[in-house]
Structure formats: structure tokens, C-alpha cells
Structure 1
Amino acid sequence: MNSPGTHVRHLDDVRILDLFAGPGGLDVAAHFLGYRSVGIEWDRNACETRYAAGLPTFHADVSVMRETRFDEIPKSIEVLAGGPPCQSFSVAGNGAGRRALDTVKKYIHRLVDGEDEAEIDNDLHALGDPRTALVLEPLRWLLKAIETEDRDPYKVIVLEQVPAVLPLWEVYAKLLRSGEGRLKGVKYEAECWELKTEEFGVPQTRKRAVLVARRPGHGAIEPLEATHLPFDLHRGKRDTAQGDLFPTDSAVPGAKQRWLSMAEALESASKPTGSPVNVSRLRTGGAMKFFVVSNYGSGGDPKNRGRRLSSEPAFTVTGKISRNKVYKSAADYEARKSDRFTIPESGVLQTFPHNFPWSGNDQAQQVGNAVPPRLGMHVLSRALRGNTPSDEELTTATTWPTVARTVTDELRVIGCGDQSQCPADSHKVTRAPRKSAP
């Protein structure tokens, strides 16, 4: 075990607590904005990526951490952030959360009104998908901080989820403004929006429901300012065997930047010396041209696979991105000669740095579960500073700093130091070897 001094060094001056932290989308965003964070994550593979990236982490269940280990959370924490698991609310899931939205709204009120939490938990479990209850965890963490004698209420709250959860964030916002019940008069300015990731420079189409709340005294929370144009999802069907597969759109003079394409993002990520992103296999005659056939059906037909050109943003990056098929030409498509995105390439489409140290197993799932760091930078900057990230910050966010193996080992001990929860050697997963492009 490391000394207590090592523990303090890694958690000193941490300001942001990231619930359901995954591999670190919000933490990466915080880093490039100059803020230190600590995450809580139960998946050991995501923890290994976080340790390799130098991100302080508690490997624990968010609920258990709140109930039995709350005193381990640094008292320097001022910002509560997180994205509860979305499967039960996602359109790709079984819909249990969507069907239960009205019921969950009532549970939010019941929590604030002070009803017995054990009874609320029993009722939540009856909904069928236990992950649905996790959307209440940020509120429970806030109430815990308010009701703990030596803690201060969080100054800022930042939450994100799939768009279907926006009605719940609206209930959150209304209650946070009121300061009623167990909130004990603690009030927040609070706003929530549905955001399109491509409008913030993320080379994929993805919608997220975001809530930002902060204690009064800093002025109204202004909406985020989109930096890029939206992508038209209804541009008509294309025949990959006919015509020009790779048209380019031009931005309207004087307007926002055009959305970022897959080709632009991957080309840029391949340029730094030693980058694991090698797109030479995707070039033809020096130009990078390809199209992607999604693993998901389109228009309700599972056999109707959607397609995107390299000159367009990617589909929403999910845990199944490794199943998407990449073709260089219509001839390759007809011959069923396909490629796949590598993990570093998939990460770049999520706006992770090109050299982010993906580790452990299930890396595609880690990538898909993450918050796009570039979107996170815009949200956190608005919440914490009231502005947008600088061009310098966004430019710097393309390369991750090298992390010494000793730091990774120290963070693993901090995160998995309780051997009753993390058996010896269970987290010593070696970093996955980088696959070179054919």
C-alpha cells in the first residue's frame, strides 16, 4: 500500500466529483480546463483506463460509496457532475426508463419531501430495470452533502444523459430553484437543454440532455453557444454504387463553422509523431475517402443499415462501434471487403486525445459509454466560468500528457485499496497492445 501522503498528493485540490465516471470524458474535459477531478466508477476496465490516464478514481458502486464511504470523498469538492447509465432510457434499450418517466418524477419529489428512502428503493426496484433508479443518485449525493454536518452544499451541479431524460432534469431544475424540503433552503440557479454534439465540434451526431445548476450570486446561466452548424440528418438516400460518394458542404459565409467530418478528425489525429491513429489504409490516391455502414438498423428496419460518408460526421458512437463496417469504395462494398475503426480512432470520433491510453478489456464499450470530452469542455466551462473554452484550450485537448507507470500503480492502490472489494491482482490488467494498420 502507498503511504497516506501519496493518497493526499493525488487527491489534493480536487474540485470536481464525477459520478459514473466511465473512462473519463468529463474528467478529460476538466483537465484541459485546468480543474482537478476524482471519479467513481464500478467497471474495473474503465478504472484501468482511468489509472493509465492518471485520473484519480474510486473503484466503487456510486450508491455504496454514498452510503458507507462518504467520508472518503475530499472536502475540497465543490462540483458534482455525472452521467447516470442511460440504457433504460436510451432509444436503443428496452424502454423501461421511458415508460417509467412519470413514476420516476414522483420519486424525485418523494426524496426531496423526506419519505423513507428504503421504501422508495423498494418501489424503484419494482420498475424492472435497476439502472433506472441510478438517475436519482446525483440528487441523493446533493442531499447527503447538505445533511452532513462537516460538508458544504455543492456550488455547481452538472448532469448529462440521453435526451429522453430531459423531463427528469427539468424536475431537478425546478426543485433546485425552490430549495424545498430536504434541500433546507439551499437554492440554485438551474437550466437544462438538449444539445447536439456536432454543433460543438464533435465529429459525430449525438444528442445529450444536460443540466447545469449553481448557487446564486454568479448571474443567470446562459445557454451554451454552438460553434458549428448542425448536420442535416435527412439529406436523402444515397446509392453507394452510383455517383459521387464524397460531396462536401460549404459553410454559409459569416456563419458558424461547418460541422467536423470523420475524415477531418482522423486526418488531424494521425499527424502527431507516434500517434496510434494511422489512416493510410483509408486513403486512395492520397485522399481519405470511405463510408461507414452502421451496426444499427434505420427507420425501424433492423436490416436497413444507415450509411455515413467520410466527409460527414460519424453516427452516434456506441459500445458497438467496433461492429460498424468501413468501406473505401462501392466496389469494396459489393465485394464485402470491409475494415473497422480501431479503438484510438473510435476515441478520436468521441474527441478523446489521439494518444489516450485505453486499457483493460471491453474498450469499445468504454469508448461508447463516455461523454465526448469536447462537449464536456463547453458544458463545464459554461457552468464554472460562464464562458466558452478558449481556442488554445480546445487545441491543446487533442494530446494527452504521458503518465508514469508509477502514477498508474499509485492510483490503482488508492482506487482499489480495499481488498475486500477488489481482490489482489484483479486490476493489474496490462494495457492493450496497439494494432498497427495493415
Structure 2
Amino acid sequence: MAAHFLGFKSIGIELDRNACETRYAAGLPTIHADVSVMRETRFDEIPKSVDVLAGGPPCQSFSVAGSGAGRRALDTVKGFIHRLVEGEDETKIDNDLHAQGVDPRTALVLEPLRWLLKAIETEGRDPYQVIVLEQVPAVLDLWEVYAKLLRGGEGRLNGVKYEAECWELKTEQFGVPQTRTRAVLVARRPGHGAIKPLEATHMPFDLHRGKRNAVQADMLPTDSATPGAKQRWLSMAEALDAASELKDSRVDVARFRTEGRTKFFVVSNYGSGGNPKNRGQRLSSEPAFTVTGKVSRNKVYKSIADYEAEKYDRFKICESGVLQTFPHNFPWSGNDQAQQVGNAVPPRLGMHVLSTALRGNTPSDDELTAATTWPTIPEITTDELRVIGCGDQSQCPKDSHKVTRSRRKSAP
């Protein structure tokens, strides 16, 4: 999506059929496949003109919200990264990954490197000019290993070197109405100048500053505000209010209105401070919690009286999407739409990262404004993209088409 709004064409490879349905409905070219299978047996289907490799391996096993298996496997995975570059037989590496009990999702953090090596070693292909990777903060150490190897160009990299930098980015500092920290790697071939750190456009959110029941929207900047960041972070109420005013918006803030003002508080589905019964709370005047695949389980209360009476609402899919900075009218389709929303990179953050990586600057105000609305996609375009992505269902992931679903409109 970020590439689309910046004017770049892209093609996606997606394992989950529901996410494919959303991408088809949105007019985004997509191949329904396992990235490993695409690399191993269908690499020739990727146009040679594709010169940017971008992605985010599954984060569940690395995430603090998960079991932490990936975090415990970090040192093991670092070793496998080096073994790949040094030229060890990949079949042996795969066998060792299985023998050591590495979560298959965790092992996918090796896949971007394998794609780069495949491009380097395939006749008639050029190395990717730019590589952009995203993950949860725990993976920053792995991205540092990636960056060091990419700068060196040794082993199977065959002298191909990159300028490479890694950062830990806070989404609210880039205009996303949500606190979410991501580890990002940007690498590009020499000749385009040094990779400059992303310049934050908004201040960081300090949950503990002042009294917890204060309306932080009225607070002044702190001394710890990022230099050059001129705007305060964006609140849930501000984001939803703005989306509700757009043409044909499905965002409904009227149910949260009190005396002409959008006002509510959210009780998280997740425990806080290690206590599963201690549910965190956020005011509408603050950014949202990290939007996860369980976002639809968060309870939204209009008042303390409603809280005491256990009278709550839920965010609609389109509203959860807005908190991720998806357009208000993005055509979420298929099943598990909340999971699709939570799995995604916030498009606005993606625009800042890709613009820095591909153009060396920040996205323009016009581009960011345009990213609040998604163009209407003709049904025939969706059908054509589905034929391209799932036309030969025998090549799709096993059993993924057992249940036949038609295109579904965005959830209300």
C-alpha cells in the first residue's frame, strides 16, 4: 500500500487466502503462495524488472505477545544467517533448523536473505537494488547481523555490497494514532548516497507523564521530544473524527459522542505488567494500543458508568484499520479481517520508510493526504487478479481452497 501511494508498482506474495482476497479487492497484484516455494520452484515467475525486496517475516514467535520462542532462538538464527552466507548446503541448514526445533515462522526470518542470494546466483538476474525489512523490536539484533553481512559482500554475496542501516521506530512519531515499535532494516546498493535516519514528524507518546487521568491532548511538549518533531502525536479520537468526515465513510463516531465530542476509553484484551487480569486502558485522547489481530476483542466504553454496568462497544474493522492508518474505505475481504488488520505494517509508517529508502526523502503532504482514501476498484479487476494469483489452485498452498468464498465487501 505504501508503494502504491508513493507511485511505485509492486507484486505481493501472500500465504493466507483471506489476505489475498483483500489484496485482490484492493487491486493489488498478488500471488497466493508460500514465499519459500516461490523461491525454490517458481522464481522465474517474478519479473526481472523487480528490483526492490520488501517484507516482514511472521512476528508471532518474536512478539512479546507470543510465547517468546523466537526470542529464545535469536542466537541460533544468527548462526544460520552466517551459515547461509558462507555457502553451507541449504538442505543441511533446513534439516538442522528442523532438528533444533526452530519454529517454522521463526525460520522465515532467513527468507529475505535466501531471496537475495537466489537473485545473485540466478543467471540473467540482477541483485535487488533496495531491501526493506520490518519486524518487532526483538529482531533488531538479527537485522544488525543482516546489515553487517550486506556491507561486507562476502561468501555467497559474491562481492555484492550494500549500504545498510537499522532503526527502532515508534509509529506514533510518524503520524500513526497508535503506539507500536518496529525494527526496520533499509539496505541499498552503493551510489545513492548514505542512508539517512528517518526524521520523525511527531513527538513520542509518554504514557506515564503527569497524572494518568489527564487529557494528554492538552499537554505541552516534553523536553524529550525528538529534535525536529513539530507535531504532537495523533489520538484515536482525532484519527476517527477525521476519517468519519470523509466522503462515504463507514467510520461511525456518533455512538462515541458526548456533548459534541468524541470521548471513550479502551480496555485491552491483553494483560498488563505480567498480570493477565490487569487489562490496560487508553483514553480516546491518546494513541491506541498496538493494534493486533485481537483488536476486535478490545472493549470500548463511553463512560465510567458504562464500564461499571459492563456496557461496551467494539471497534469496527474499518475503524481498527484507520488506527493502523489504512484508508477508511479499504476493502477488507475474506475471513479473519481483524487478524489481517493486526498483521499489517501501518501504511503511513511504510510510506516514510519506503520514501526514505527509494527516494531519500519524506513523503509529501499531498501523498499522505491521498493515503486516507482508497480508489474504487472494478469487480473485473479483482476477478482478473484472482485468476493471476489463484487461477491454478494446484500451485496455491495445500488445502487453502477447501472452502470456496466469493469476494466480500469491507465489513461495516
TM-score by length of 1: 0.89
Correspondence for 2:352: 378
Please report how far the alpha carbon of residue 433 of structure 1 lies from its aligned counterpart in structure 2 after TM superposition: 5.9
Superposed displacement of residue 96, structure 1: 1.1
Distance 2:45 2:405 in 1: 23
Q: Give the conservation status (yes or no) of the 8 Å contact 2:6–2:363.
A: yes
1:36-435 map, 5 Å = 36-125=9-98, 126-235=100-209, 238=212, 248-251=218-221, 256-422=230-396, 428-432=405-409, 434-435=411-412
Contact residue 332 and residue 410 of structure 2 kept, 8 A: no
Distance 2:401 2:277 in 1: 46
> For the residues of structure 2 that align with 1:383 and 1:65, how far apart are their CA atoms?
25
**C-alpha displacement at 1:234, in angstroms?**
2.2
**Pairwise CA distance, 1:419:** 2.6
- Across the aligned residues of Structure 1 and Structure 2, the Cα RMSD in angstroms comes to 1.7
Name the stretch that deviates more: 415-424 or 122-131. Answer: 415-424
Deviating more after overlay: 425-434 vs 245-254? 245-254
TM-fit CA distance, 1:245: 6.3
The answer to whether the 8 A contact 1:276-1:344 is kept is: yes
Give distance in 1, aligned partners of 2:301 and 2:80.
48
Deviations 1:350-378 (A, max 9, x none): 00001000000000000000000000000
CA contact (8 A) 1:100 1:127 kept: no
**Cα offset for 1:434?**
3.7
Whether contact under 8 Å (1:360, 1:431) holds in the other structure is yes
Q: CA shift at 1:236, angstroms?
A: 6.4
Q: Give the whole-Å Cα distance in 1 for the aligned partners of 2:103 and 2:273.
A: 26
Q: Is the Cα–Cα contact under 8 Å of residues 203 and 231 in structure 2 kept in the other structure? A: yes
d(CA) in 2 for partners of 1:154, 1:255: 32
Residues 177 and 324 in structure 2, CA contact (< 8 A), matched pair in contact too: yes
1:231 shift after superposition: 0.1
Deviations 1:275-314 (A, max 9, x none): 1111110111211000000001111111111000000000
Structure 2 SS opposite 1:296? strand
Inter-partner Cα distance in structure 1 for 2:401 and 2:64: 39
Aligned in 2, Cα 1:168/1:195: closer, same or farther, shift over 3 Å?
Answer: same
SS state at 1:267 partner:
helix
Q: TM-score, with normalisation over the residues of structure 2? A: 0.95
Q: Quick check: 2:59–2:135 contact (8 Å CA) kept in 1?
A: yes
> How far apart, in 1, do the equivalents of 2:22 and 2:390 lie?
14
Contact 2:318 2:410 in 1 (8 A): no
Q: Could you say if the C-alpha distance between residues 255 and 409 of structure 1 is closer, same or farther in structure 2, counting changes exceeding 3 Å?
A: closer
**What do residues 247-300 of structure 1 show as CA deviations (whole Å, max 9, x unaligned)?**
632447985100000000000001112111111101112110000000011111
d(CA) in 2 for partners of 1:166, 1:237:
33
Closer, same or farther: CA 255–35 of 1 in aligned 2, 3 Å: closer
Equivalent position amino acid for 1:107 in 2: F
* Cα distance in 1 for residues equivalent to 2:16 and 2:124: 30
Residues 370-415 of structure 1, C-alpha deviations (whole Å, 9 max, x = no match): 0000000000000000000011111111000000000000000000
The 2-side partners of 1:51 and 1:249 are apart by 43
Q: Which amino acid aligns with 1:63?
A: S
CA distance in 1, matches of 2:327, 2:219: 26
After TM superposition, the runs of 4+ consecutive aligned structure 1 residues lying more than 6 A away are: none
Paired residue type of 2:147: A
Unaligned runs of 5+ in 1: 1-27
How many residues align structurally? 404
Structure-1 separation of matches of 2:301 and 2:38: 46
CA shift, 1:89, in A, is 0.7
Gaps of 5+ in 2: none
The answer to whether the 8 A contact 2:25-2:407 is kept is no
- C-alpha contact 2:291 2:323 (8 A) present in aligned 1: yes
Take 2:318 and 2:386, find their aligned partners in 1: how far apart are those partners?
23
In structure 2, do the counterparts of structure 1 residues 109 and 51 end up closer, same or farther at CA, with 3 Å as the change threshold?
same
Cα displacement (A) at 1:54:
0.1
